[in-house]
Structure 1
Amino acid sequence: MDFLHQPAGNQRLGDFLKENFAAKWPIFRAAVAFVKHSGTKHIVDDLKEFAKDSNFQIIAGIDHLGTSREGLADLLGSVEDNCEVVIFHNRAFSTFHPKLYLFRSDTAAEVLVGSGNLTEGGLFTNYEAALRISLDLKVDSDNTILREIESRLDTWADTSERTAFRLDEPLLDRLCALGMVPTESFSAAEDADDAQDGEVARAGRTRENGREGPTENPFAFVPVQPPPRKAKVIGREIDEQDESPRQSAPVTAAPEPALAVRGFCLTLQQTDVGVGQTTTGTSRRSPEIFIPLKARDEQPDFWGWDGRFVETPTTYRREGIRVRLGSEILTVSLLGWKAKRDLRLGSEAIRSAANVGDILRLELVDPSAGYEYYVEIIPQGTTQFSTFDRVCKTAVRNSKKRYGYY
């Protein structure tokens, strides 16, 4: 076992890959979070040469706009018979984030597990670390390790759950049209790595009038196991799963409310997406989607209620909320009138993207993404509609609306 580090180490991730491509192993498999041309340009010729006589499978994530069209195109252009690039994405709040590289034959294997992606920084210039392990497959314990690694790679590459799809040109075009895979900005920052993932040119709007058509998101929503919750103890925190005995019982405060959900769905009605009267001289209705107060009070932390709202004599208002709709980053507001029974999400772009009967989906994202919620309009008749329609279990009094959390 060897410890590799960069940028000052004797062997960096890029060196490891190029050395092993040249060694003509029969099989190469990898799983990475991000792929960019800044990185693939360093190894694509080696990969093409390797693919002439050997097989490879690369599983790539596309979360947080961290993978580019150009990077995936480089990999796709290297594919020969018995080679493939697989795209992994789970629409649940879970980022695909491994960095695992495997070369193997029938008798030996080289494994590297670390922090580097297929980007220039990940391969060469970032501060990264990894462990390189040489396996002798005549040794039972080494064989066990290899089987565990390949079992996990097989699971990630399994297309039956629709979290993984084999990449081809039509799928690449589709992901770009959805804004899930951006193009790189060929500027002075072309070779930037994950720290400059914002250096991309985002694709255009994903929908016209709320209809996705051929650009419908193909990936499934698969719930993942949540982290253990923390209970507050005066002076420190404890893990609720910690069952170790205590000599004396600590003084505990009431557990802090935990955000138990990541997403919200709402069936949309005419009051949400309609513009009001259309006769000459009349004004369009304000672009507001009506969130039931019952839904707000059920999961107040999801909306930032009430600590992130500013109170006036007649309203509660939260401004400047950054959301992502398709490929666009928007600024929206939440407004509650004290005399009314709803919370209003203000955004012309969101209203214009939807039709009556569609589902609005909001999902909290990692703050590092640069926005707070991912917003999606799910049209009737699409594959995802039936999935999220089942989430909308709670009826709203005196309305055809339904909502739900997940």
Structure 2
Amino acid sequence: MIELEIDGVGMRVCRGADSRTVAAVKREQTYRLLKFDQAHSRTMRLILGPEKSAINALRELHGQGEVRRITVLVAWARIAGVAYFLDMLGADSTKVHIVIGMAGAGTSAEALSYLRAHCGSVHLFHKHHRQTFHPKVYCFDGVGNPPDTARVLVGSSNLTGGGLFANFEASLRATLTPAAVDKDKQAWQSIVEAYDHLVASPFAEAIVSDERIQVLLEERYLSTEKSLRRRGRGDGEGAAKGSARRGKPEAPPPPLAVPKLPPPTKVFVDPTAASKPISPKAATSAASPTVLTAAPAPAFVADGTFFVRTLTANDVAKALGAQVGTFEPDLGIMARDQLPEFWGWPDKFKTVIHTKPREEWAARAIVFSTTRPAGVEIELMIWFREARLKTDDDPRPHAAEFRLRPGPKATFQSVLPAGFGVTSLVIIERLGNSEAYDFRLRIITQGEPEYDDYQSYLTTTRPGHRFGYGPDDTEG
């Protein structure tokens, strides 16, 4: 006998068999392999985000059949990723057994609290500050033990908004059939054994209360969401960034439309923020607070916060040159006072007298659109003028103005995309001190992939336009 075995399907041909017999056996073998693949397919695919995001892959794996258990091993967890994950799982969140790292205090107390409240079990793992716990494994077990299927995602995606949605992450997605195929059973068992080994380790800790999470926060093993946002872009801050330095275009990721979570079981206090002394400038502001009716702005982080605004019909006409006048939209005092540091107010401004005195900052900026994807350098003049009462020379009273003017005019007009109009959005991102520019502008029109995401940040309505701020929360 000549004997071959392919994926568990035997093929036997007697020595000396004629060609017709051999051909018949080969046809039978092909049929068996086809039926075997249909019944026990071990598909494997590379998922590369953000176009094919990890959260969509996880949603598909979860939806492929009944789930008995969900095993997760990740380096970090943050509230945006947890919100996506719990929203996707629904009632199956109680079947989650998760091990999370906390190297560099990169996991947030809030994310950990939500996982503790909704998952079957939560463990933290930390061995040493020079040895990072860094896996990213998601495994959905079907029914049975071993399960009929095990749907697995292994790669670079942490349980964060960036890891699941916004970043360029790569993961291998596989479907195993442990109950039917021995090799698949071995692969599945390796995941089970890895989890069991970690939770039995002296370096693992089961998290069973918010009080313990607060202790770990105070001991600097965890961070609050607010402190993680303030941390900005971490290790990348010192890198040479910006299109002027690299000669390549750059664009921020779309903001995350994070699913809503139920009210938290505890509000965590960052011990470093609680003990931080109040600056004289902050104390002065606290003595005479500005009353706002708009949605609150996020904490300001240079190279991490953006402003988005719609345009009025007059704005559009002046930008296109269809109407006499200069394109310099009035941002409004409300927008400025929500986040004055974003605009460099008042430190960056100098008094300049034209016909009337005003405060100005001639900021450096670069503007992008689908028309000019590589970007164009411009000057972004931001200016403020106090309210003026009517006089004999000027019988009209004037409200206070806080405006911006991109220029030169022709340069800015060359960037305006096809379809530019009152539904278009202007996104202004404040850059860090290491950048070649102070601001990065984008002009996007309705129908572009990121339009709906940015539109979700238009939280404040004013006469003729809407605006809002958002964090550019790129996460690991």
The structure that is strand-richer by fraction is 1
Q: Fold conserved (TM > 0.5)? A: no
The structure that is helix-richer by fraction is 2
User: Quick check: which has more Rg, 1 or 2?
Assistant: 2
TM range (shorter): 0.3 to 0.5
TM-score after normalising by structure 2:
0.38
TM-score after normalising by structure 1:
0.44
